[in-house]
Each structure stands twice: as C-alpha cells, then as structure tokens.
Amino acid sequence: MPIKAEQLARSLQRGLAPVYLVGGDEPLLLQECCDQIRNAAKEQGFVERELLQVGPGFDWSDVQQAAAPSLFATQKIIDLRLTTGKPGRAGAKVLGEWAKAPDPNMILLVSCEKWDKSSRTSKWAANLDKAGLQVDLWPIKSQELPGWLEQRMRQHGMQPEKEVVSILASRLEGNLLAAQQEIDRLALLKGAGVITVDDVMRVVADSSRFDAFTLAEHMLTGNLSEGLRVAAGLKRMDTPIPMLLGALLKELKSTEAFRLARRAGEPEMSVFRRMHIWHSRQNTISMAARRLNTLKLYAAFKHLALIDRQSKGRAAGDPWQSIDALLRQLAA
C-alpha cells in the first residue's frame, strides 16, 4: 500500500525494500525522498549507483544491462528517472518482470516527476508497490503550509514566533522550493534560537532575492531587466536547473488555468479561492493572464521542455542562455 512522504523515514529505519517507486509534482519533496532512500541504501552497503534517464527512444534493455553484476561491487542502486510517469508498454513489461523477482543485491529506485491518477493506479505501479514500496507525494495545502514551515525551521534549531510562519506562508504562496531557500537563508544568517518578525523582515530585505520564486514573478510580470539579474544570480549560486524549472512551470500552469477559468466566465475571486492563489499573488497572476495569450504560454511550455533536455545533456545548447531567452520571449 502506498505511503506518504512523512512515513518514509520510519519505513527506512525498519529496513530497505528491494524496490521504491516515488512519484509527485513537487520537485523539492521528490528530491528529498529520493535522497533519503539513496543515503539509507549507501549506509547498508549499496555504494554503486547506475543512473538511467528515461526519455523518447529509451532502450529498456538498458535496465537489464545496468543490473548486470559489477566487478567492483556486489550491491547496486538502479536510479531510474521516469520523468513523465508513464513507462509505456515496453517499460511496464520490464518493470513488471523486475517486480516478480527482485535481485536482493539490487535496489530499484523509480522516480516520477509527473504523477497523475492514471500513473498512481496503473498496473505497473501496483506491481512495483507489491514488490517494494510506493511513495506518493501530495502538494502541501495552503492551510498546512504554516505547520510545514515551522517544522522545517525547528529542524534547523530555530524557534519561530507565531507571526513568523504566517508572514513566510503569505510571502511564499505554497512554493516549497522558495520556502526551503528562505529557511536555509535564515539558518545561515540568523542561526539557531528564537526567530522574530524583525529577523525575518531584515533577512528578506537584505537578501539578494536570487531565488526561483522571484524569477517566476519577474517572468510573469514581464520585468525583463530584473528577471535577467535574478537569473544571473541563480546561475552564480549553481541553482539546480530541474528545481528552478519546477517553480517556473508551476507558475505558468497557474496562469493558464486562471486564464481559462476566467474565459469560461468564473468570477475572479472564485478562481483565486479554488486555486488557492494567495492575496499577495493575485495581482501578478491576473496581470499575467491578461498579458500572455495561449500561443505565448504554450510556446513557453515547449521552451521549458527544451531547457530541461539541455540540463540533462539530451539537447544542444546552454540551459541558462535558454532561460534568458525565455524571459525575453515572455517580456516581448
């Protein structure tokens, strides 16, 4: 039976499963859960790791080849990145065969960035869950975000005042990547102990604002000069491209969903409530929906897909240059 992200640590303490299937649309949670599994496996002697990125034209026989015994290690992790969450007929067959007879010297870790109902309830997913463990990642609801923020801050030894988590929740709008960046920044600049509202406001005001959340806001509003400045800062900080793309894609999807709902006649405030768009973001989303038409939005989705392929070495070009090009495209 599938478990939630918060149940994974306890499961790993009880022992390793031969197969893990982790799926969810939150890049931060997906990365953290996979890291937990990889670290736990490494502690148990699974020191060799084979990374396989499933894309168009992927040869599923590579999975069997990756599972071949190594001359230098007897225990191995097969890290299979199934970006679309859909292995196709050939992939489902290979995964099903693996699930029938998992190798005790191998751990198969399948991670899916897209995880809709059809993937979660598919036969191939059920086979992997039966052979090991399926971890379903669910978005943090707006009412859950303050508690999530407080828990994360306390893990860093911080004791936030009640107003602190409310301010951060309002500012971060459910963007978990930006939330973790803000918490890391607070931990670095303030350290452990009581965190006051003044501390938060000072850190936020003094920060260079080089984060994915800010880049997404400049992208939506068409603020090209600031967008390019933030993108340059993110590049200097070696920000992981996949996590950055997750934030940009989420904001563009919200804009398109808002735009379509308004065209269908749904009142603006009703859309904001239904989509959990917080007050401080409402003007940005509304402005972007008026400024960006379907053609521009879908061109942006294609551009993000290109950047994703470039970051993984599957397409020619510099992903950071392509991010700059995307900002110019949406500002025009």
Question: Tens of pLDDT along 211-224?
Answer: 777 888 899 999 99
Q: Is the pLDDT of residue 204 over 70?
A: no
> What pLDDT sits at residue 80?
95
From 3.30.470.20, 3.40.50.1220, 1.20.200.10, 1.10.8.60, which CATH number describes the 145-206 domain?
1.10.8.60
pLDDT bin (cut points 50, 70, 90) of residue 208 is very low
Q: Which residues pair with 19 in a beta bridge?
A: 108
pLDDT bin (cut points 50, 70, 90) of residue 71 is low
Please give the CATH number for the structural domain made up of 212-331: 1.20.272.10
Please give the CATH number for the structural domain made up of 3-136: 3.40.50.300
Q: Is the pLDDT of residue 118 over 50?
A: yes
pLDDT bin (cut points 50, 70, 90) of residue 173 is low
Lowest mean pLDDT among 92-101, 126-135, 208-217: 208-217
Q: Is the pLDDT of residue 206 over 50?
A: no
Contact 205, 280 (CB under 8 A): no
> What pLDDT sits at residue 113?
87
Q: What is the pLDDT of residues 220-257, one digit of tens each?
A: 999 999 899 889 888 887 788 887 888 899 889 999 99
Is 221 exposed, middle or buried (CB count within 10 Å of its CB: 0-12, 13-18, 19+)? middle
Domain definitions of the chain by residue range? 3-136, 145-206, 212-331
**279 or 100, higher pLDDT:** 100
Do 145-206 and 212-331 share a fold?
no
